[in-house]
Amino acid sequence: MPLSERRTQSRQRWRAPPEDMAKINFDGAVFSGENKSGIGVVIRDSAGLVIASCSKKLQQAYGSAEVEALAAATALSFAADVGVNRAVLEGDSLEVITALSQDTPILSSIGPWIDDAKVYSNRFFKLQYSRVRRECNFVTHNLIRCAIDIPDFIV
């Protein structure tokens, strides 16, 4: 089998959530040249149709783990605000997904945003966490690129 075919087969793709749930994809990025950060959130139903999405520009360049944690907290708050209460929260940051899955306090710089995310998670009847590779978060990652050109927050 040629190498190009093997690469294509090994790539992960976005997968729909169970039928009674939504999937909330989140991502964060740092625009170091602009000294700013951005976050993106895409919420889809079990058919893969977009329920809602948002992009936000942050007026500070955070560390990568910090902006990912802030994106997770924003994603949960946004999803609850649009009426989602059964969901899979999915991102590409192992550190953030692991921290959200633990009951112990997080004593690193992402701790405050993880705490916020855990508070927002109480607004859900059912919430699961999933970590995926970046290519599964492609739409959300591309949405962040729009964040640098918006004044603050766009839905």
CATH (domain of 61): 3.30.420.10
Mean pLDDT of 37-43: 94
Residue 81 domain flag: yes
Residue 28 pairs in a beta bridge with: 39
Mean pLDDT of 41-57: 94
Residue 4 domain flag: no
Q: How far, CA to CA in Å, does 113 sit from each of 6, 13, 149? A: 39, 28, 24
Residue 33 domain flag: yes
Residue 123 domain flag: yes
Residue 14 domain flag: no
118-134 pLDDT per residue, tens:
999 999 999 999 998 76
Residue 1 domain flag: no
Q: What are phi and psi of 90, to 5 degrees?
A: -130, 130
Query: What is the DSSP track for 18-69?
Result: PTT-EEEEEEEEEETTTTEEEEEEEEE-TTS-EEEEEEEEESS---HHHHHH
What's the domain range around 140?
21-154
**Strands of 86-91's sheet in order across:** 126-131, 86-91, 22-31, 36-44, 50-58, 153-154
Domain count, the chain: 1
88-107 pLDDT per residue, tens:
999 999 999 999 999 888 88
Mean pLDDT of 35-64: 93
Q: What tokens does 22 get?
A: 């939504």
The set of residues, in sequence order, having a beta carbon less than 8 Å from that of 126 and lying 6+ positions away, is 21, 85, 86, 87
Q: Cα–Cα distance between 89 and 121 in angstroms, integer? A: 10
Residue 16 domain flag: no
Q: Cα–Cα distance between 46 and 49 in angstroms, integer? A: 7
136-148 pLDDT per residue, tens:
566 666 777 777 7
Residue 15 domain flag: no
